[in-house]
A and B are shown apart, each in its own frame.
Chain A
Amino acid sequence: MTDPLERRLRDAMKAYAETVTPEDIDRSREQSVTNAGASTGTADSRWLWRLSIAGLAAAAIVIGGLGIGQLSEPSRSPQADPVPETSETSTSTSRSTPERTTSTSSTRSAAPESSRTTAPKQQPSPTPKRTTATTQRPVPEPSTRSTPPPPEREPRSSQTETPTESAEPPPSVMTRSHQDPARLQVNVDARPAQGTQLSWRATATGTASSDSPSGGVLGYTVDHGDGTTESRQVRAGCDGASPVRPVTFSTGDQQHDYGRSGTFQVRVQVQYCSDHGKTESGAGTQTVQIP
Chain B
Amino acid sequence: MTTLASSISPAVIGTRNAAQGVTHVPQDLDLADLYAAHHLSMVRLARLLVDDVATAEDVVQDAFLGLHRNQHSLRDSGAAAGYIRRAVINQARSTLRRRRTARAHLKVAEPEVGPAADADLIVSEEHREVLQALSRLPERQREVLVLRFWSDLSEAEIATAMGVSKGTVKSQASRAMKTLQKHLEAARS
User: A residues touching B (Cβ–Cβ < 8 Å)?
Assistant: 1-2, 5-6, 8-20, 22, 24-26, 29-30, 32-34, 36-37, 40, 212-214, 245-246
- Shortest CB distance A46–B (Å): 16
* Residue of B47, B57, B62, B177 touching A1 (CB-CB under 8 A): B177
* Residue of B31, B58, B180 touching A212 (CB-CB under 8 A): B58
Secondary structure at chain A's binding surface: helix, strand, loop or mixed? Answer: helix
Asked if B180 and A5 make an inter-chain contact with CB atoms under 8 angstroms apart, the answer reads yes
CA distance A30 to B36 in the complex (A): 8
Given A15-B127, A33-B35, verify A213-B62 contact (CB < 8 Å).
yes
User: B residues touching A (Cβ–Cβ < 8 Å)?
Assistant: 19-20, 30-32, 35-36, 39-40, 43-45, 47-48, 53-54, 56-58, 61-62, 64-65, 68-69, 119, 122-124, 126-128, 130-131, 134, 145-146, 149-150, 173-174, 177, 180-181, 184
- Shortest CB distance A242–B (Å): 12
A-B contact pairs, 22 of them (CB 8 A): A1-B177, A2-B177, A5-B177, A6-B149, A8-B126, A9-B149, A12-B130, A12-B134, A13-B48, A15-B122, A15-B123, A16-B123, A18-B44, A20-B40, A20-B53, A22-B40, A24-B53, A29-B57, A29-B61, A33-B68, A213-B65, A214-B58
- Shortest CB distance B109–A (Å): 10
Task: Enumerate chain B residues within 8 angstroms of A36, measured Cβ to Cβ.
Answer: 65, 68
- For the complex of A and B, list the 4 residue pairs with the smallest distance between their C-beta atoms, beginning with the closest: A17-B44, A12-B130, A12-B127, A13-B150
Task: Enumerate chain A residues within 8 angstroms of B44, measured Cβ to Cβ.
Answer: 17-18, 20
Given A8-B130, A9-B149, A20-B47, verify A37-B123 contact (CB < 8 Å).
no
CA distance A24 to B36 in the complex (A): 15
Secondary structure at chain B's binding surface: helix, strand, loop or mixed? Answer: helix
Task: Name the residue on B nearest A245 (C-beta).
Answer: B65
Asked if B146 and A13 make an inter-chain contact with CB atoms under 8 angstroms apart, the answer reads yes
CA distance A40 to B64 in the complex (A): 13
Task: Name the residue on B nearest A246 (C-beta).
Answer: B65
Task: Enumerate chain A residues within 8 angstroms of B124, measured Cβ to Cβ.
Answer: 15
Given A8-B130, A13-B149, verify A33-B61 contact (CB < 8 Å).
yes
Task: Enumerate chain B residues within 8 angstroms of A13, measured Cβ to Cβ.
Answer: 48, 131, 134, 146, 149-150
- Shortest CB distance B96–A (Å): 14
Asked if B126 and A12 make an inter-chain contact with CB atoms under 8 angstroms apart, the answer reads yes
CA distance A133 to B84 in the complex (A): 47
Asked if A34 and B48 make an inter-chain contact with CB atoms under 8 angstroms apart, the answer reads no
Asked if A1 and B174 make an inter-chain contact with CB atoms under 8 angstroms apart, the answer reads yes
Given A34-B31, A40-B69, A213-B65, verify A19-B122 contact (CB < 8 Å).
yes
Task: Enumerate chain B residues within 8 angstroms of A26, measured Cβ to Cβ.
Answer: 54, 57
Task: Enumerate chain B residues within 8 angstroms of A11, measured Cβ to Cβ.
Answer: 127, 130
Task: Name the residue on A nearest B177 (C-beta).
Answer: A1
Asked if B57 and A12 make an inter-chain contact with CB atoms under 8 angstroms apart, the answer reads no
* Residue of A12, A20, A34 touching B43 (CB-CB under 8 A): A20
- Shortest CB distance B81–A (Å): 15
Asked if B61 and A32 make an inter-chain contact with CB atoms under 8 angstroms apart, the answer reads yes
Asked if B134 and A30 make an inter-chain contact with CB atoms under 8 angstroms apart, the answer reads no
Task: Enumerate chain A residues within 8 angstroms of B173, measured Cβ to Cβ.
Answer: 1
- Shortest CB distance A43–B (Å): 11
CA distance A273 to B186 in the complex (A): 49
CA distance A276 to B181 in the complex (A): 50
Task: Enumerate chain A residues within 8 angstroms of B53, measured Cβ to Cβ.
Answer: 20, 24-25
Asked if A9 and B31 make an inter-chain contact with CB atoms under 8 angstroms apart, the answer reads no
Asked if A9 and B130 make an inter-chain contact with CB atoms under 8 angstroms apart, the answer reads yes
- Shortest CB distance A11–B (Å): 6
- Shortest CB distance A244–B (Å): 12
Task: Enumerate chain A residues within 8 angstroms of B69, measured Cβ to Cβ.
Answer: 40
